[in-house]
Amino acid sequence: MADLVKFTINGREIEAPAGMLAIEAAKQNGIEIPSFCYYEGYSLQAACRMCLVEVEKMPKMQVACTLPVAAGMVIRTETDQVKLARKSTLEFLLTNHPLDCPVCDKGGECELQDMVFKYGAGESRYVEAKIHVDEQQWSPVVFYDGPRCILCFRCVRACDEGMGVGALGVVNRGAMSLIAPNKGDHLECDECGQCIDICPVGALTSGPYRYLTRPWEMDHIGTICTHCSDGCKTTLGVRNDEIVRGNNRDRSGVNGEFLCVKGRYAFDFNKHAERLQSPMMRVNGKLEEVSWSKALETIANKFGEIRSRGGKFGVIGSNHTTNEENYYLQKFARQGLGTNSIDHHRTGDVVTLVDALSGTTGRLANSADFYERKAVLVIGSDFSVEHPFLAFQARANFRHHEAHIYTVTAEPVREDNYAARSVRVAKGEELGALEGLREALAAEPDLVIVFDDSIKGDKVRSVVEFGQSLGIPVSYCALVDYSNSRGAIDMGLAPEIGPGYHATGQPGMSMNDMLAAADLAALWVVGANPLENAKLAASKAFVVVQDLFLTETAQRADVVLPAASAYEKNGTVTNGRGEVQRLKRASATMGAKTDLEIIGLIAKEMGLAPMMGPWLPETVYAEIRKTVKGYDIPLPLVTIGAQQSTPVNGRVGVESRPDLVRSEHNNLFESGTLGRYSQVLNTVIEGRQSR
């Protein structure tokens, strides 16, 4: 850290590192210097002239956003001259800016409105005609209203520097300047919507959100995105029990203000017309709507009958349901149905990684590591496309800390553009390329190694051995696909391991075994779609499915129960780095129940309620804290921010099963079965092109 220097702002003596920008130093000391174009984390622009301040011995006013502080500097931010300068700047900005605030989406949360309110003039002297250009639609999610733009270039920098996409630019000059998309009349980009979020005015607006509500008429519910395993916090804007917006402007959560297209827009599956709203039962070969009591009774009778005659059960859990639901489900399966045949679709080999790291602590990378460690090695994954938030972290790390990024992939990836070294290998040969990087990696102060399912089974052990032999601190991350993939394995949705990576001793059937077992008596699927690309061998098996939609699996079911989505329930989920975060209910769908409640109701119907305990998320979480190693985290801590769980540090003691691990490698516009029901993911041009 640079030496501290003493200087004064408005007569107050302040200490800050030499070279710190005056605007930042002021902010840290509670002095507001207004600005539009200055944005923490992005390059300096000095375009808006809103942050002019007086500095003693400097003949003219200075822009505080590019002024490094020095010892003895005397800065004044509230003089008459400064106030007049702000007033004039705002008057200029308003010469062309239309005063359509009453119908502008941004009205009420607009930075220009706030600035004019606080610093602006009461009236305008400008009577000439304003320059008008028509509004443009650049994509299903991005609209641009040129006259509203104040040319702060935040969107251009967020897209270019933050996302590494560079889809936005500024064309023309002076008052005629306009923001332009990369394809002339439309955008081809990540469709992440960061540009809309970062726009201080209503120049860039969001397609799905336009004209739906005034900002102050929404409730804001902070919850966790239910798509990929990056586990971003998304704050849902809810009006009349309908989710109308997703963003994270308060920068809470591991992701700060970052969100990709899924977190920002793909909540729309929630109100898809095909959402199930009533239980269904197969009557004369056809699925018909029935009452909850009838459906539950049928399941309880059938499960009870199969259990009493010793029939084979198979239980398949979800990558999207909460930790509480996963825990409750495996408890039901193991203690209620007496089977270890419980599994889920595994998308990364977390089990072997945890085993390979046994005897160590603090070796699992967390979200911050991707931004703070001096080097990141990405193996296999098309990082920006499959894990946009982690890639965003790594990019910011490169920008702010000059971190070295290394990639070992089969195809070119976006990280190549700024990577210290990019190695291209044939698929499956990733491991062999590591030796070639040994010298460079060993010279780094510290390192994060992140890998996808190209590294599984014994290869995971080899990677860990390689990492440990470098002689520098290394932390690891096994990438998984979905919002609670990690929680599913942590909670023991696996035949060979119970909650907290305890070997079960007598492994039950894996998912593949269940589907292949001709004598399977009952299959219970909670929030998964195993029959999407597979057949169920047991033609007579009694199939129960809990899901949001009538998936391929649900179509084969004997009883289908309508489940609530992650945005409709409380509980906790664990992201790909093992960070536990809290889900909060944002809306509800009539007829659907949470999986936790459904499991509880089935248990009650079967007389298992006393053993299972109440189906309240908080109660189940309390049990998880006591039972699952590494999850002894108080709920209030999870509520205020992500808390990394600390899985076992002793041997897991199970046979490694790389054959069960298969990532879907979902890109930015795919999200398993869920993604099929998101209108946004299916309408953006890049989503269609990538299919």
Partner 1 sequence: MTFSPELEAQFEKFLAKYPADKKRSAVIPMLVYAQDETHAITQEVIEEVAKRCGVTPLQVDEVVGFYSMLHKKPQGTYHVQVCTNISCLIVGGEEIWNQACHKLGIGHKQTTADGRISLEEVECMGACSWAPAVQVNYDFYHFVTPSQLDKLLDGLSAGKKPDEIAGVKRASC
Nearer to partner 1, 98 or 169 (CB): 169
Give the one residue of 173, 286, 626, 691 binding partner 1; rule: CB under 8 A.
173
Give phi and psi for 307, each to the nearest 5: -65, -40
Told to check if 185 binds partner 1 by CB under 8 A, we report no
Give the one residue of 17, 98, 169, 507 binding partner 1; rule: CB under 8 A.
169
Minimum separation from the CB atom of position 178 to partner 1 (A) = 9
Told to check if 1 binds partner 1 by CB under 8 A, we report no
d(CA 126, CA 146): 19
CA angle (530 as vertex; 526, 531 as ends), nearest 5: 120
Residue 687 and residue 373 in contact, taking contact as beta carbons nearer than 8 Å: no
Minimum separation from the CB atom of position 168 to partner 1 (A) = 8
Could you tell me which stretch among 163-171, 487-495, 521-529, 640-648 binds partner 1 (CB under 8 A)? 163-171
Minimum separation from the CB atom of position 177 to partner 1 (A) = 8
H or E element: which one contains 92?
helix 80-96
Nearer to partner 1, 187 or 586 (CB): 187
Told to check if 186 binds partner 1 by CB under 8 A, we report no
Residue 231 and residue 366 in contact, taking contact as beta carbons nearer than 8 Å: no
Residue 687 and residue 385 in contact, taking contact as beta carbons nearer than 8 Å: no
Nearer to partner 1, 204 or 390 (CB): 204
d(CA 207, CA 113): 22
Residue 572 and residue 322 in contact, taking contact as beta carbons nearer than 8 Å: yes
Could you tell me which stretch among 165-173, 310-318, 467-475, 597-605 binds partner 1 (CB under 8 A)? 165-173
What is the amino acid identity at position 156? V
Told to check if 68 binds partner 1 by CB under 8 A, we report no
Question: Which residues neighbour 435 within 8 Å (Cβ) at sequence distance 6 or greater?
Answer: 466
Could you tell me which stretch among 77-85, 137-145, 162-170, 379-387 binds partner 1 (CB under 8 A)? 162-170
For the segment 275-314, give every residue that binds partner 1 (CB under 8 A).
none
Told to check if 504 binds partner 1 by CB under 8 A, we report no
Minimum separation from the CB atom of position 591 to partner 1 (A) = 48
Could you give the strand order of the β-sheet that contains 12-17, starting from the edge strand earlier in sequence? 12-17, 4-9, 74-76, 52-55, 62-63
- What is 416-449 written as a DSSP string? GGT-SEEEE--TT-TGGGSGGGHHHHHTSS-EEE
d(CA 550, CA 555): 6
Minimum separation from the CB atom of position 436 to partner 1 (A) = 23
Could you tell me which stretch among 89-97, 171-179, 291-299, 613-621 binds partner 1 (CB under 8 A)? 171-179
Nearer to partner 1, 182 or 504 (CB): 182
Could you tell me which stretch among 160-168, 330-338, 579-587, 596-604 binds partner 1 (CB under 8 A)? 160-168
Nearer to partner 1, 182 or 649 (CB): 182
Nearer to partner 1, 180 or 455 (CB): 180
Told to check if 544 binds partner 1 by CB under 8 A, we report no
Told to check if 136 binds partner 1 by CB under 8 A, we report no
Could you tell me which stretch among 164-172, 197-205, 390-398, 603-611 binds partner 1 (CB under 8 A)? 164-172
Instruction: Report residue 670 as tokens.
Output: 């795919």
Told to check if 172 binds partner 1 by CB under 8 A, we report yes
Instruction: Report residue 636 as tokens.
Output: 């209030």
Number of residues lying near partner 1 (CB under 8 A)? 11
Minimum separation from the CB atom of position 402 to partner 1 (A) = 14
Told to check if 180 binds partner 1 by CB under 8 A, we report yes
Nearer to partner 1, 160 or 664 (CB): 160
Give the one residue of 74, 101, 121, 170 binding partner 1; rule: CB under 8 A.
170
Helix (H, G, I), strand (E, B) or coil at 370: helix
**What angle do helix axes 617-627 and 323-331 make, rounded to 10 degrees?**
70
Instruction: Report residue 298 as tokens.
Output: 């049928």
Told to check if 182 binds partner 1 by CB under 8 A, we report yes
Minimum separation from the CB atom of position 408 to partner 1 (A) = 23
Dihedral angle computed from the Cα positions of residues 245, 249, 250 and 255, in that order, rounded to the nearest 10 degrees: 100
Give the one residue of 22, 25, 155, 168 binding partner 1; rule: CB under 8 A.
168
* DSSP strand pairing (280-283 vs 286-289): antiparallel
Number of neighbouring beta carbons within 10 Å of residue 486: 30
Told to check if 441 binds partner 1 by CB under 8 A, we report no
Give the one residue of 167, 353, 531, 661 binding partner 1; rule: CB under 8 A.
167
- What is 623-689 written as a DSSP string? HHHHHSTT----HHHHHHS-EE----SS---S---GGGB------TT-BHHHHTT-HHHHHSHHHHH
Nearer to partner 1, 18 or 170 (CB): 170
Nearer to partner 1, 149 or 455 (CB): 149
Number of neighbouring beta carbons within 10 Å of residue 91: 16
Nearer to partner 1, 635 or 685 (CB): 685
Contacts to partner 1 by CB under 8 A: 166-173, 180-182
